[in-house]
Chains A and B, each alone.
Chain A
Amino acid sequence: MSASIATLWSHFLRGVKAVRWWVTNVMGDRSYDVYVAHQRRHHPHEKILSEKDFWRAKYADQDANPGARCC
């Protein structure tokens, strides 16, 4: 009985983790991590921007190249 509750609980936790993974990725929380991983892999000798500067650059880029939102 308690074993099945434990499995249920672990399933629940897995579900919560999956939702969190999806939401934070869709919203953009992970963009900086992606950038850092990319820089480390492909440009190991270049300077990596701080998180604050990364977002500044990203928004400046959006200012210069607006993207559409649909109706």
Chain B
Amino acid sequence: MSKRVSTENVDQSQLPPVALTEEEHAKDHKMSPLKIAMWVAIALLGGMAWVMLAIVRGETVNAIWFVFAALATYLIGYRFYSKVIERYITKPDDRRATPAEIRSDGKDYVPTDRRVLFGHHFAAIAGAGPLVGPVLAAQMGYLPGTIWIIVGVVLAGAVQDYLVLFFSMRRGGRTIGQMARDELGKIGGTAAIIAALLIMIIIVAILALVVVNALGESPWGVFSVAMTIPIAIFMGLYLRYLRPGRITEISIIGFVLLMAAIIAGGWVAGTDLGAQLFTLERTTIAWGIIIYGFVAAVLPVWLLLAPRDYLSTFMKIGVIVMLAGAIVLVRPEISFPAFSEFAGGQEGPVFSGPLFPFLFVTIACGALSGFHALIASGTTPKMVEKERQTRFIGYGGMIMESFVAIMALVAAISIDRGIYFAMNSSAAATGGTVEGAVAFVSSLGLVGVELTPEMLTTAAQNVGEESIISRTGGAPTLALGIAQIMSAFGGTAMMGFWYHFAIMFEALFILTAVDAGTRVARFMLQDAIGNVVPKFREVTWLPGVWMTTAIMVAGWGAILIMGVTDPLGGINTLFPLFGIANQLLAAIALAVVLAIVAKRGIFGWLWIVILPLAFVAVVTVTASLYKIFSPIPAVGYWANHFAFKDALAAGETSFGTAEGAEAMEAVVRNTLIQGTLSIIFVVLALIVLVMSVIVTIKAFRNGGGPDMEDAPVPSRRFAPAGFITTPSEKALEKQWEDVPEVLKPTEAGQS
């Protein structure tokens, strides 16, 4: 028991220091010969791994080299590049209190242990995105995607996340939209908010499309994914009425129930009645998700959203650990080429358009994801305990997501390349039949690919599906890859279980994103309408909530239905829009960061922001221009639009892969919407970029600009900055342990 001391009577200056001195930092980070040797070894290992991936071209390449190349590059990027950003751009000061410390309220603003907050932040940023994009990008071979995921995260994605987190923290946890208005003015700010709203709709629609494609004609999948709803509701009731706050306990129970649901799914799908009941058309599933999306978004969070989110977080961490372990243990041989036949062309069957810029929009999450700017400027900055920790949480968290993307890529390309194309080419190309798929894949003339009908039927049989032809959207391909890797432990008998396990966790992440995205979008819309009709701002006014929710659900629902019924094979034409939208948000976030850094008067190191901003701006604008102006119908929305329109006018009843006038009219309609969205996106992006450049040039002329940061408040607590506690930090922590109990700061994560 410590002595009873009243807080008022103690001189606060008697507290130990709240930050390390410059000398202590220098001492901790001094390069001893041993450390130098270690970093040389890491660099050599990474270099060797890259050589194995990029230059040594055997028949196959071992998956372990992907892991080494990624880990070594991440370590070097984290230790050196993010340190440069810390030293010259963010310049954190641990003597300043964070919003969590200043406004500490025990609920939203809670100084949280850095390792715990890392987990929180990671669970909020990582979902199905990094599991889907890399799979589709494998059409071009493994190397372009691998380089973009690993190098992109170090120079772009992690930089964005870290800087947005840091600057939002310095502004009391303000959102990216508010920061855009503060830094870029009213026009730039409004454009940023409209873009964010549109992007939310697109992202929800396309993620939902991934689920629909994975569940179409799959009774096993439909049953096990549908079961997540009653399981989540049970968890919600348990937490509300039986044992409030026992989240880990109920998550473990929920997890066991989910496993049971997957096993039961195999059995249900095996019975005639079950197969009849749960074999659903894609359109039916799409309508199911739309209705579900509306209901889930108006139900109270405790009943469905929160418990499913717990389950999803629990699975996220578990699955990633499992997948990493399995890849390292199994070390599958990859037979995909570094660059495929489609790397140089524009009309690959999985997604169309040339490598530059479309590879960089197809893989968004995992390399650079603008959506993270919403998270890094939302809850996380309100929970940071010490300023220096933002590097570990922001930069480190994004590196972790990149690693997930690499593992997804490796798992997906461990399958046969012929099967890959049979699964990922649209039904319009394969006809949805084994013979059609074999004929189509052989017509592609791929080197080293000999796809036989038996390969396709055996693969489908192994995972307990009727067929795996044209299961587009990435999720089924990844699930097959995971099932194959895991079969090293459980044999082929277990493949059906692992396949549906993988489908289920992807669906779980996506349904959470659909539900949460609809709520956030509704909230933004309520706020916007509230400017005119103030009553809409009241979050408890149910008609307002229902109306705005319905508008948002109608928005993404229309795009979803359009994708499901698209005669050209939805995901193939829509996925680029998803990537463009996400990268556009990244451009907006980086543009805001650029203005902030320029106003700080830091011009010598501004290139650190300009580099990813210029790249992503060029990528999104070029991709949009291709989508708007390309004369190749497979690439340009408008080219396709007018081609079909002309064909209709000429009285033709079939054109390209669309049969019948009705299908052709659908194409005309869909391309009109897609083309219009492309135009809106590029215009919004250009507005934000121009505003940002104007602000930056103005700041350059004046040697800086007004500082929008909150006034500094002295901190009264200490915590280490990174994952590993340094010797000086340990010594200082010891001093804090001797502080009388009553003076010790409270925080989340203290045992």
Q: Decide if A and B are genuine partners.
A: yes
CB–CB A68/B747 < 8 A: no
Which residue in A22, A38, A64, A69 is a CB contact (below 8 Å) of B124? Answer: A69
Asked if A26 contacts B119 (CB within 8 A), the reply is yes
Residues of chain B within 8 A (CB-CB) of A54 are 244-245
Q: Are B110 and A68 in contact (CB under 8 A)?
A: no
Q: What are the residues of chain A within 8 A of B129 when measuring CB–CB? A: 70-71
Instruction: Determine the chain A residues whose CB is within 8 A of the CB of B362 once the complex forms.
Output: none
Closest chain A residue, CB of each to CB of B523: A66
* Chain A residues in 8 Å Cβ range of B124: 67-70
Q: Which of chain A's residues has its CB closest to B207's CB?
A: A71
- Given the interface contacts A24-B248, A30-B748, A32-B245, does A59 sit within 8 Å of B513 by beta carbon? no
Name which residue of chain B comes closest to A57, CB basis.
Answer: B107
Q: Contact: A27 with B106, CB < 8 Å?
A: no
Which of chain B's residues have a CB closer than 8 A to the CB of A63? 300-301, 539
> Which stretch, B364-372, B492-500, B631-639, B711-719, touches the partner chain A?
B364-372
Give chain B interface residues in 489-514, CB to chain A under 8 Å.
510, 512-513
Segment among B8-16, B302-310, B554-562 that sits at the interface with chain A: B302-310
Tell me whether chain B's interface is mostly helix, strand or loop, or mixed: helix
Least CB distance from A66 to B in Å reads 4
User: Complex: how many Å from CA A4 to CA B104?
Assistant: 45
Number of chain B residues whose Cβ lies closer than 8 Å to a Cβ of chain A? 65
| Assembly CA distance A13 to B314 (angstroms) | 22
Out of A22, A24, A62, A66, which one reaches B115, CB within 8 Å?
Answer: A22
26 contacts between A and B (CB under 8 A): A23-B317, A24-B247, A25-B113, A25-B749, A26-B313, A27-B251, A29-B245, A30-B748, A32-B244, A35-B106, A38-B746, A54-B244, A55-B245, A58-B107, A59-B302, A61-B108, A62-B305, A64-B539, A65-B539, A66-B301, A66-B520, A68-B374, A68-B375, A70-B126, A71-B127, A71-B510
Q: Closest approach, in angstroms, between the C-beta of A27 and any C-beta of chain B?
A: 5
**Interface presence of B123 (CB below 8 A):** yes
Q: A26-B119, A26-B123, A71-B369 are in contact. Are A59 and B251 (CB under 8 A)?
A: no
> Cβ of B113 and Cβ of A34 under 8 Å apart?
no
B519 touches A66 (CB 8 A): yes
Q: Which of B304-356 contact A (CB under 8 A)?
A: 305-306, 309-310, 313-314, 317
- The answer to whether B378 and A62 have CB atoms under 8 Å apart is no
Q: Are A65 and B523 in contact (CB under 8 A)?
A: yes
Within 8 A of A (CB), among B362-393: 365, 369, 371-372, 374-375, 378-379
The binding surface of chain A is classed by DSSP as: helix
Once bound together, how far apart are the Cα atoms of A36 and B245, in whole Å?
A: 13
Contacts of A30 in B (CB 8 A): 748-749
What per-residue 1/0 map shows which CB atoms of A4-33 lie under 8 Å from chain B? 000000000000000001111111111110
Q: List residues 230-279 of chain B with CB under 8 A from any CB of chain A.
A: 239-240, 244-249, 251
Q: Enumerate chain A residues within 8 angstroms of B108, measured Cβ to Cβ.
A: 61
Q: Which of A32, A35, A67 has the most CB of B within 10 A?
A: A67
Closest to B746 in A: A37
Q: Is A45 located at the chain interface by the 8 A CB criterion?
A: no
Q: Are B107 and A27 in contact (CB under 8 A)?
A: no
**Is A39 within 8 A of B310, CB to CB?**
no
CB distance from A34 to the nearest CB of B (A): 4
B371 in complex: contacting residue of A52, A61, A71, CB < 8 Å:
A71
Q: Does A47 contact B (CB under 8 A)?
A: no
Query: Is B517 part of the contact surface with A, judged by Cβ < 8 Å?
Result: yes
The smallest beta-carbon distance between A50 and chain B, in angstroms, is: 9
B203 interface hit (Cβ, 8 Å): yes
Distance (Å) between the CB of B313 and the closest chain A CB? 7
Is there a chain A Cβ closer than 8 Å to B116's Cβ?
yes
Name A residues whose Cβ lies closer than 8 Å to a Cβ of B: 21-32, 34-35, 37-39, 41-42, 51-52, 54-56, 58-71
Interface presence of B698 (CB below 8 A): no
Assembly CA distance A21 to B309 (angstroms): 20
B689 adjacent to chain A (CB < 8 Å): no
Answer yes or no: B225 CB below 8 A from chain A CBs: no
Chain B 734-749: CB-based contact to A (< 8 A → 1; otherwise 0): 0000000000001111
A27–B126 touching, CB < 8 Å: no
Which residues from 439 to 474 on chain B have a C-beta closer than 8 Å to any C-beta of chain A? none
Contact, CB under 8 Å: B127 / A70: yes
A67, B244: Cβ atoms closer than 8 Å: no
CA distance A38 to B207 in the complex (A): 39
Q: Looking at the assembled complex, report how far the CB atom of A23 sits from the nearest CB atom of chain B, in whole angstroms.
A: 6
Return chain B residues, CB-CB under 8 Å to A68.
124, 200, 371, 374-375, 378, 516-517, 520
Selected contact of B306 from candidates A41, A59, A70, CB within 8 Å: A59
Interface residues of B in 196-249 (CB under 8 A from A): 200, 203, 207, 239-240, 244-249
Q: Are B245 and A51 in contact (CB under 8 A)?
A: yes
B658-680, CB under 8 A of A: which get 1 and which 0? 00000000000000000000000
B90-127 near A? 1/0 per residue, CB < 8 Å = 00000000000000111110100101100110011111
B245–A31 CB distance below 8 A? yes
On whether the beta carbons of A69 and B513 are closer than 8 Å, the reply is yes
CB–CB A31/B748 < 8 A = yes
| Given the contacts A70-B125, A70-B371, A26 and B116 also touching, CB distance less than 8 Å | yes
Which one of B107, B240, B365 contacts A70 once the chains associate, using CB atoms below 8 Å? B365
Which residues from A are CB-within-8-Å of B378?
67-68
CA distance A71 to B404 in the complex (A): 13
Nearest to A25 among chain B residues (CB) is: B116
Q: What is the bound-complex CA distance between A54 and B523, given in angstroms?
A: 24
Which residues of chain B from 7 to 60 have a CB within 8 Å of any chain A CB?
none
Q: Which residues of B (506-549) have their CB < 8 Å from a CB of A?
A: 510, 512-513, 516-517, 519-520, 522-523, 539-540
Given contact pairs A35-B107, A67-B516, A68-B371, enumerate 13 new A-B contacts (beta carbons under 8 Å): A22-B116, A25-B113, A27-B314, A29-B247, A34-B748, A35-B106, A38-B105, A38-B106, A64-B539, A66-B520, A67-B520, A68-B517, A69-B516
